Every structure is written in structure tokens, then in C-alpha cells.
A = this chain, B = another copy of it.
Amino acid sequence: TAASSRIFSTSTSDKRKLLAPSDTFISRHIGPSEAETKAMLQKVGANSVQELIEQTIPKQIRLNRGLKFSSFREGRGESEMLQELKEIASKNKIFKSFIGAGYYGTILPPVILRNLLENPAWYTSYTPYQAEISQGRLESLLNFQTLVTDLTGLPIANASLLDEATACAEAMYMCNAFSSNKSFFVSSDCHPQNIALVQTRARAIGVNVIVGDHATFDFAANPVSGALVQYPTTDGRVLDYSGFVNKAHEGGAKVVVSTDLLALTSIKAPGEFGADIVCGSAQRFGVPMGFGGPHAAFFATKDEFKRKMPGRVIGVSRDSRGKPALRMSMQTREQHIRREKATSNICTAQALLANIAAMYAIYHGPQGLRRIADRVHTYAGVLAEGVKALGYEVPTETFFDTITVKGVSADKLLKIGYDSQINLRRLDSNSVSVSVDETTDLKDLNTLLSVFSQGITGNATHSLDLDALLARVGSEYPETLRRSTPFLTHPIFNSISSETQMLRYLYRLQQKDLSLATSMIPLGSCTMKLNATSEMIPITWPEFGNLHPFVPADQAKGYHIMMNQLREALCEVTGFAEVSLQPNSGAQGEYAGLLAIKKYHESRGDLQRDVCLIPTSAHGTNPASAILAGMQVVVVQCDEHGNIDVGDLSAKIAQHKDRLSALMVTYPSTHGVFEESIKDVCAMVHEAGGQVYMDGANMNAQVGLTRPGDIGADVCHLNLHKTFCIPHGGGGPGMGPIGVVKHLAPFLPNHPVVDMTDGNKIRDSSDSSQSYGTVSAAPYGSASILPISYMYIALMGAEGLRRSTQFAILNANYMAARLRDHYPILFTGRNGRVAHEFIIDIRPLKAATGITEEDVAKRLMDFGFHAPTMSFPVAGTLMIEPTESEDKGELDRLCDALIIIRQEIRDVEEGRADPKDNALKGAPHTMDVVCNSNWTRKYSREQAAFPAPWVHSLGKFWPSVGRIDNVWGDRNLVCTCPPVSDYETK
């Protein structure tokens, strides 16, 4: 017992240990206790964790030393680490930024901050593939889509994309998919990062981008698939594009309008002047700038184009009771179905941020949003009058929130602004722009006018009179530009005005959703581990939140220190020379990595190398990314053990030798196995002049035990939202940084606005001229969530990370050992071990009983569990990944549930249960079905709802709708909030 341990009989060195922090983290992150570990090893049949690892990971790739982190001491306490990061964060200088260009100050209503963004019940949930236990966030995402369709004036919207610039590029892909013209027009009035991204992406697929003046562009002379304009323009002008749209359409081109949701409350909706695709960023709807992200991009289009629309779309369908129910619709469009035919590789998006934007709109309602827009516009108006009165020229005649100011040296003005702790945007040598926003107040206005006064008179005090300026503020928008249609008329946007109502709405939705706060989410390939509070706390610090991504580097010192330490650590973890933090999802990492490989070959004159080998078992984003990188996908077979068929690989290499660009390989494999041949595989590819791209989705089985760089990979992306503890947020945000070997480092992404060599101390080359281009809108992707991974690595240290991986493997092997007698385990590696995940095969049971993997998945909901990954990588199977954060008790409950389910299947098999009317086919069971007087099923209410003893004692989680009819929903697509009457019992 505790009381019998006597500290003073300990030696000095033991006493010394007592002086160490008492709030260390490793045992908080890892689920099993010491006693549990013992019991689990016994079940697994290994004498020690070490032995198990030796049986699992091939010797030739095992790392025989501990990781070494120069920035991170071992054994840090959570509280001291939080303090230390706070000190680093405070090196960021929080000036007021009037830079605009797609990023604006905004006020996140505190009730949403605390109860959504800072609430694990929201941020730890997964993408709502299992719709019956995700109706809360599905409702919220449907609200987001309604917001987008209403404001853009187009009928179909998705549930977010990664950022505005990638959204523009996705629009370009879409236009391209509908056209045979291999050119695309981009207005030079677009934000520079939008232009750069479209250029990068177009170049990779051989589309020619024409950047120019939209007013003079000749569609007849230059046939293009589509044209992109910015509305308002990057320097602030609100232009009438209706003539342009007509010309484009006459020329057979689609029009993409990248726009601003807040402005659209006041200016004409692009859908109303004929736009085909409307996209942009919803950042200023409550999401802090965060040095570039994460924020939700939006994307809307016309009905006729919906089946080529990228991203996830939430739609209304009906459930087994015939009641309305939400789910992700039209999934057949997605890359995991279309693979080599995909026109987009988007997978993880920005669900959490889309939810914030939707809640922001609900909180303010249409009047409130319009009031914020009017306020911003009035500030811009007063500012314009003020600077004109000071003697400047303001060429932006019609504007929303941004004005251009001409007439004095821009550098001089920026310097004066800097001294007053504000950031202006430099447009050219003698013009700047100023974007005001929701956070702008009278003090800011005064500072701005003082700065401009100083710029022209040398004197900071001015004699401008606010009322006089206000009186001069111009007339309303011209008829052609003015919004005259209503928006957000649905009751959900008009029923909440008090904080109490908002709080209860958030809680009501939360109750419907299963998250890590409820129970484990054993999704293979997704690594749903602990997202610890200490990791999450820093992301809502204003020191990280309130930075514009384009501020001068010296205002972002805190970010640079944090990012450099993180990059260094990731280099050590992966065995690579350099890491780029730009890609903000795994798929974007794949894409960025393939571009680096492409550019590497080009730099060597190997222009013909365009074949990408991809095993059949690969995740759908792999072929999609390869296609978007302009490569040709050649599929490599797997053998019956789930390993790459080395013979087939060899044949394919031989066949495409000169054209071989890359092999994409996931390690351990998507089958959950450490393939023994991996080093040979890499060597074969290198031999043939190819590069090895490693998909790092399964890094959770590698960290500290082996390294992609050592295995032979040349590039690897890391899903920080899997292995490195960024929560999934119900479908994003994520981060997909890539590590590369030295020879690929010069080809990492660059940025059109920010000089990325600033503050980047580990980059080998200080020159980004060799980069293929830009893959995210912001230079460091979703920088503001990097503190999560930073804290994780800092708190775990080398020792903790290694143990973490060991336990990820132990937990998986323990579950496999318990389940082995009940379900076939599909693939195992040497010594019968699995990696950090494993597949149970439902196909033989289906053949025997008609019970499918979907039935098992839905039935697990009745036990309060989220299903494992369904039918990936093998149709008809379930892939289980427990992660290291789950304790034995939870692992046992999931095993018990699966074993009870197996018994239920046997009941069907052996005729004790009806093949159609049984607890599996009837799952999931909702409250109103179970509580109904009229129970007609052939099994009991208790079996339906309380199939295991702990279901009640641990708190029953009720699926809020019955099994959803996906086909019906796709046939009757509704992706905006339906009228309330639809929800009434019919």
C-alpha cells in the first residue's frame, strides 16, 4: 500500500528522483497500467513488451538506439511544459493586422469557444462515417452548407475544404474535368496565394494558367475551361462581374468566384450573377487567424455539377423508421471509390472549423451578421474619408472592408505602422491596402489615421473629426452590386438570440454524438488516441490565435521557435533531413511529396519519369494524389498474405523502368503488417531510378522503433492528426507535414508572399527557387494546431514516444489474441503478430448467415462503441486499431462486445435467431423504438438496447436515428437544412 512505502529509507539517488516533477505525462497518455500490461502480455504469449516488439518488427529495420531530441528534455511535467510553451508563445508580437488578403480578425463568441472548440466531446469525434451516432455534428455541418448556399446563391455546397487557395484549385480541377480545354484563366486581382496555388496545381496536370486582367480577357482568343475571379478583389474593389460571366459562358468557360462570406451579406450573391462555382474561406466567421489556419474553406456549385464536386457533402436521407436522418452523401464521388479516376484527393477537411462558422452564423443570425458587415463597412468608409482628407488617393471606389491607399512610400508607411504596432499590406512601392474587420474599434481607427497622418505630414496627431467623416461616408452600393435577396431564413438561424439558447443547442447536438469522451473509437488507419488537455490548451491562447500569416517574421518569433523545434523533432523521428509543415492534411502531404519527387526528376533532366506504382491495398488518396501530381498510376498486386507481391513489383518496375517516378507504400501496410521485404522493395525502386514515397498514416507503429528514412523511404508524410495527437475534430483539421531526404529538400513547397527561409533554421537550402510551388494557402499550413504535436513530443520525450508505440502494438496484439478464436484475423506478420491494427474478416460469416460487416458495425453502436474501419483496405472486413491510449478494461469491453456479436451471428447460423429480424439486422436501436409500447421484433428490448452488463452501468449511449438508407438519400439529394416540417412526425 501507499502508506508502507517509506521514502527515507531510500538512497540519495532515489530521493533525487523525488525532486523531479510529479505531473509527468507518459503514464497519463498510455492506457494500460503495469498490472494490466502483465496480464495482457500473458494473453498475447510474450514475456515482455520488448520481446513482443522483437517478434513484430523485422530486425533489419529496428532502430537500435533511442531517439535524441536536442530541444526536449526527458520527464517534463505538464505544468512546467505549459509554462515553457507560454514563454515561447509570448515571443510572438500581437500587433493589429490590417493585411486582409483572406485573413481577418474575428470574435469567436465565448460560448462557442468554450463549449465547442475547447470541448473534447466536439473535438475528439471522428468524420461522421457512422452517421447514426453522429447526428449532432452532421446537423451542424448541414447548417454550414445552408449558410454557404444561402450566401453564395448556389444550391449545392460541401462541408468544407482545406483553405481558400486549395478550394480555388479544386474549382480549377472541376472546370478541367468538364472541359477539353487545357487552359484556365485567373484574374490578377486574386489573392496572391490563390494564384500561386492554382498555378502549382495546374502545372502539375498540364493545364496552362493565364493570369491577367479579367476586364480585357478575350475568351474567344483564349479558350479556357474556366476563369477565376476574386470578389471583392484582393485590393478591395467590389466589381460587377455580370458581363464577364456572360462572356465566359459564351466562350464555353465556367466562372469560379472566390469570395468573402461576410461581404456577401451586403453585396450581390455570385450565384445571382451566374457564377458556376463559388468558394472562399469561412475563417472570419469566428475562427482565429492562427498564423494561417486551420479554417474552413467553403465550396458551392450548381446542381448539374454536383457529382464532380470535391469534398464531403452532408445530405438528408431517411432511416429505418422512415424518419429524416443525416449522413455523408454521394460518397461514390470520393477518391476512395474513384481512386485513379479521382479529380480530387481531399479527405480530411476542416469539419471542426466549419462547425464553428455555422455556430457563429446561428449565434448572430442574419441581422447580426449584416450588422457586423455594416459596421466593418462603415469603419472602412470612415477610414477612406479620413485618408482622403489627409491628402491620399483612394482608388477603391466601391469597397466592402478593404481600401487601397496611394500617394506615399509603402515601405515608409509600413514602418510607421510597425512603430504603432499595426500591420498594413504593401501592394506596391507607393500603395498599401487596409482591411478592417469585426475586431476593429475606434481606437484602431484613430491609430490608423495617426499612422497615415504621420506618413504624409510627419505628425501623428491629426485634426480629423469623426462625425464629419461619418457624414461624408458615401451612398449605398449601386443597385447592380447590392444584395437584395434574403439569406439564412431557416428557423435555425433565427431562433437563437441568448447565450443560454446557444449553450443548450450546442449540448443538444453534443449528446447525439459519440466521441472519445464516451468510449474508444477503434478505427484502423485513423489512430484515435488521447488528445490530451495540455496539448489542446495552447491552441486557444491569443498569442497563437491572433497572428496573421503574412506578418513580418520578427512578429512570429514564437511560432518559428516552436515550429523549428517541432521540425527538428520530426526529422529525428523519421530519419529525414528536412520537414515541410505546409501540407495541411495527409492527402496534401502525399501531393506535396510527389511534387518534390517530380521536381527532383525534372532537375536531373528525367522529364519522362511519370509512373507511380501503387499497391492495390493503398488508401484512395494515394492514386488520387498521384494523378493530381500528373503521374500515371500503375497498380501493384498484393499476395495472399497482404504483402506487396514482390514478383509483380519487379515486373512492373521492369516494364516502366525509364518512366518510373515513384512507389507509394504504406508502412506498416494498410493490412496492419510489418512487411519483411520493405527494405528490398525500397532498394528495387531506387535501383530503377525511382523514389520511394511512404504514406505515414501508420507511423503510430513506427515512432521510436524504426524510421522511414532508415527503411529506405525518400519522402513520408505524417498525419499529425493521427500519430501526433491533433484531434480529428469530426473530420478535420489535420496536418500532413512531409519529411524528405536531403536530395529532395530543395523541392519542398514555397510561398508567394512569405519568404519561408525567414526563421527556418534547419532548412538545408535557404533558397526556395527550386520548389515546385505552393500547396497550401498559408506558408505553414494550419500552424495554430502545431502546439498540440509539439506538446505531445515534448511531454513524452524519446522514452515516452517509444513506449507509446510499444503499447499501440501490444494493445492491438492483445485484442487480436482475444478475438482470434471468434473471428478470422485476416493478415499477420512474422510470428503471427500484427502491427498496431488488425483486420477481422466478416466475409465467411456473411456467406453463412447474410450478416454483413455493416450489421456488425451498426450493432456495436448498441454497445456504445464506434465501429472499426469498415471495408478498408479489404471489402467485407473490419479493421481495428485500439491505440496505446486505451486501457485493458476498455479493450476487454470491445472484445466482449464483438464476442457477444459473434454469438448473435451464431444464433442466426444455428437457427435460434431469425435471419432477417434479429438484433444485428435491426441495429442500431433507438430510444423510441425500444421504449415503444408496440414491440414486434423477434428478440427482446433488453437484447436490443442493453446487450452487455456494462452498457447500462457505464451510461447507455443511444444512437439517435435508426439505420440510414444511403441510396435513398443519394437519389433525393438535399444538402441544406430542410424545412422544419420535414422533421415532424408524419
Q: Is the CB of B503 within 8 A of A2?
A: no
With a cutoff of 8 Å between Cβ atoms, the chain B residues found around residue A2 in the complex are 265, 365-367, 369-370, 486-488
Assess whether A504 is in contact with B487, with CB atoms less than 8 Å apart. Answer: no
Q: Determine whether the beta carbon of A7 is less than 8 Å from that of B107.
A: no
A770 CB-CB contact with B under 8 Å: no
Contact A1 B952 (CB under 8 A): no
The contact of A498 among B16, B28, B534, by CB within 8 Å, is B28
Is A128 in the interface zone, CB < 8 Å from B? no
Which residues of A535-573 have CB atoms within 8 Å of chain B's CB atoms?
536-537
- Asked if A940 is an interface residue, CB under 8 A from chain B, the answer is yes
Are B484 and A9 touching (Cβ within 8 A)? no
Residue from B19, B377, B442 in contact with A379 in the complex, judged by beta carbons closer than 8 Å: B19
Instruction: Say yes or no for A507: interface residue by CB 8 A criterion.
Output: yes
Q: How far is the CB of A150 from chain B (nearest CB, A)?
A: 11
**A27 to B371 CA separation, bound complex (whole angstroms):** 15
Question: Does residue A396 face the partner (Cβ distance < 8 Å to B)?
Answer: no
| Shortest distance from the beta carbon of A931 to any chain B beta carbon, whole Å | 5
Known contacts A12-B470, A16-B470, A500-B31; A265 and B486 CB within 8 A of each other: no
* B504 pairs with A518, CB closer than 8 A: yes
A671 contacts the other chain (CB 8 A): no
| Complex CA distance for A733 and B104, rounded to whole angstroms | 39
A769: Cβ under 8 A from any B Cβ: no
> Does A499 count as interface, using CB distance less than 8 angstroms?
yes
Chain B, residue nearest A33 (CB): B497
With A79-B439, A378-B7, A519-B504 known to touch, is A470 a contact of B15 (CB < 8 Å)? yes
Binds B, one of A114-122, A742-750, A756-764: A114-122
- Residues of B contacting A120 in the complex (Cβ-Cβ under 8 angstroms): 114-115, 503
- Indicate which residue in B7, B466, B504, B946 contacts A374 across the interface (CB closer than 8 Å): B7
Q: Is the CB of A3 within 8 A of B486?
A: yes
Q: Is A489 an interface residue (CB 8 A)?
A: yes
- A29, B498: Cβ atoms closer than 8 Å: yes
> Is the Cβ of B12 less than 8 Å from the Cβ of A501?
no
List of B residues within 8 angstroms of A439 by Cβ? 79
Q: Check B956–A927 contact: CB distance below 8 A.
A: yes
Q: A109 an interface residue at 8 Å Cβ cutoff?
A: yes
- A 387-411 contacts with B by CB, 8 A: none
Q: Give Cα A927 to B942, complex, Å.
A: 11
Residue of chain B at shortest CB distance from A36:
B497
A753 at the interface (CB under 8 A from B): no
Which residues of B sit under 8 angstroms from A445, Cβ to Cβ?
Answer: 19
Query: A30 near B: Cβ within 8 Å?
Result: yes
Number of identical monomers bound together in the oligomeric complex:
2
Q: How far is the CA of A19 from the CA of B386 in the complex (A)?
A: 15
- Asked if A487 meets B3 with Cβ closer than 8 Å, knowing A118-B118, A121-B507, the reply is yes
Are A516 and B503 closer than 8 Å at their CB atoms?
yes
Contact A887–B497 (Cβ < 8 Å): yes
Question: In this complex, which of A19, A27, A121, A368 has the most chain B Cβ atoms within 10 angstroms of its Cβ?
Answer: A19
Partner of A501, one of B16, B31, B372: B31
Residue of B nearest to A28 (CB): B499
Q: How far is the CA of A377 from the CA of B365 in the complex (A)?
A: 57
Report whether A473 and B956 are in contact in the complex, using a CB–CB cutoff of 8 Å: no
Given the known inter-chain contacts A476-B9, A532-B110, please indicate yes or no for A27 contacting B498, CB distance below 8 A.
yes
In the assembled complex, the Cα of A35 lies from the Cα of B528 at a distance in Å of 46
- Give the Cβ gap from A86 to chain B, nearest Cβ, in Å: 9
Q: Does A429 contact B (CB under 8 A)?
A: no
**Residue A945 CB within 8 A of the other chain:** yes
Q: Flag if B955 contacts A375 (CB, 8 Å).
A: no
A892 at interface by CB-CB < 8 Å: no
> Is A60 in the interface zone, CB < 8 Å from B?
no
CA distance A933 to B937 in the complex (A): 12
* A458-500 Cβ-contact flags toward B at 8 Å (1 or 0): 0000000011001101111000000111111100000101111
Contact residues of A between 1 and 20, Cβ < 8 Å to B? 1-9, 12, 15-16, 18-19
Q: Does A831 contact B (CB under 8 A)?
A: no
B486 in contact with A113 (CB, 8 Å): no
Is A886 on the interface with B (CB-CB < 8 A)?
yes
Known: A6-B476, A19-B375, A476-B9. A1 touches B932 (CB 8 A): no
Is A247 located at the chain interface by the 8 A CB criterion?
no
A170: Cβ under 8 A from any B Cβ: no
A442 touches B19 (CB 8 A): yes
A441 within 8 A of B: yes
Are B1 and A887 in contact, with the CB atoms below 8 A?
no
Closest to A265 in B: B2
Q: How large is the interface on A (under 10, 10 to 19, 20 to 34, 35 or more residues)?
A: 35 or more
Is A425 on the interface with B (CB-CB < 8 A)? Answer: no
Chain B residues closer than 8 Å to A949, beta-carbon distance: 985
> How far is A955 from B504 in the complex, measured between Cα atoms in Å?
10
Bound CA–CA A365/B265 (angstroms): 55
Q: A2-B369, A511-B955 are in contact. Are A500 and B378 (CB under 8 A)?
A: no
Contact A932/B941 with A9-B476, A110-B532 known, Cβ cut-off 8 Å: yes
By beta carbon, the residue of chain B nearest A488 is: B2
A931 contacts B932, CB within 8 Å?
no
A887, B110: Cα distance in complex, Å: 20
Asked whether, in the complex, the Cβ of A3 is within 8 Å of the Cβ of B485, the reply is yes
Query: Distance (Å) between the CB of A503 and the closest chain B CB?
Result: 6
Kindly supply a per-residue 1/0 record for chain A positions 653-669, scoring 1 wherever the CB is within 8 Å of any chain B CB and 0 otherwise: 00000000000000000
* Contact residues, A935-973 vs B (CB, 8 A): 935, 940-942, 945-946, 949, 952-956
A365 to B, closest residue via Cβ: B2
Question: Contacts A30-B498, A120-B115 given: A484-B956 contact, CB under 8 Å?
Answer: no
Q: Report if A695 contacts B (CB, 8 A).
A: no
Q: Assess the A932–B927 pair: CB atoms within 8 A.
A: no
Are A932 and B942 in contact, with the CB atoms below 8 A?
A: yes
Q: Contacts of A512 on B, CB cut-off 8 Å?
A: 955
For A110, the chain B residues whose CB sits under 8 A away are 78, 82, 532-534, 537
Q: Which residue of B lies closest to A7 (CB)?
A: B374
A501 to B500, CA, bound (A): 30
CB distance from A255 to the nearest CB of B (A): 23
**Interface residue? A432 (CB, 8 A):** no
A775 located at the interface, meaning its Cβ lies under 8 Å from any Cβ of chain B in the complex: no
Q: B533 contacts A467, CB within 8 Å?
A: no
* Interface residue A419 (Cβ < 8 Å from any Cβ of B): no
Query: Given the complex of chains A and B, what is the CA–CA distance between A112 and B504 in angstroms?
Result: 22
Whether the pair A504, B517 counts as a contact (CB closer than 8 A) is yes
Question: When A474-B8, A476-B9, A931-B941 are in contact, do A955 and B366 touch as well, CB less than 8 Å?
Answer: no
Give Cα A5 to B476, complex, Å. 11
Chain B residues, CB < 8 A from A467: 12, 16
B501 to A370, Cβ gap below 8 A?
A: no
Distance of A500 Cα from B33 Cα, bound (Å)? 13
Q: Which residues of B contact A530 (CB under 8 A)?
A: 498-500
Q: A266: shortest Cβ distance to chain B, in Å?
A: 8
Q: Does A819 contact B (CB under 8 A)?
A: no
Shortest distance between the CB of A118 and any CB in chain B (Å)? 7
Confirm or deny: A706 has a beta carbon within 8 angstroms of a beta carbon on chain B. no
Per-residue contact bits, chain A 717-761, to B (CB 8 Å; 1 contact, 0 not): 000000000000000000000000000000000000000000000
Kindly state whether residue A684 has any CB partner on chain B within 8 Å.
Answer: no
Interface assignment of A639: CB less than 8 Å from any CB of chain B: no
Residues of chain B lying within 8 A (CB to CB) of residue A503: 120, 516-517
A130 CA / B897 CA spacing, docked (Å): 34
CB pair A22–B438 under 8 Å, yes or no, is: yes
Q: Is A250 an interface residue (CB 8 A)?
A: no
Chain B's closest residue to A954 (CB) is B508
Are the CB atoms of A375 and B18 closer together than 8 Å?
yes
The yes or no answer to A928 lying at the interface (CB within 8 A) is yes
Chain B nearest CB, measured from A203 CB (Å): 41
Name the 3 nearest CB pairs between A and B, nearest first.
Answer: A110-B533, A2-B366, A8-B476
- 30 A–B pairs (Cβ distance < 8 Å), ordered by A: A1-B486, A2-B366, A2-B486, A3-B266, A3-B483, A3-B484, A5-B367, A6-B476, A8-B474, A12-B470, A15-B378, A18-B374, A19-B382, A19-B441, A21-B441, A22-B371, A22-B372, A23-B107, A27-B497, A28-B497, A77-B107, A78-B110, A80-B441, A82-B110, A114-B537, A504-B519, A508-B955, A511-B955, A512-B955, A931-B945
Task: Given contacts A1-B486, A79-B107, A498-B887, list 5 more A-B pairs with CB under 8 A.
Answer: A3-B484, A8-B476, A499-B532, A931-B941, A931-B942
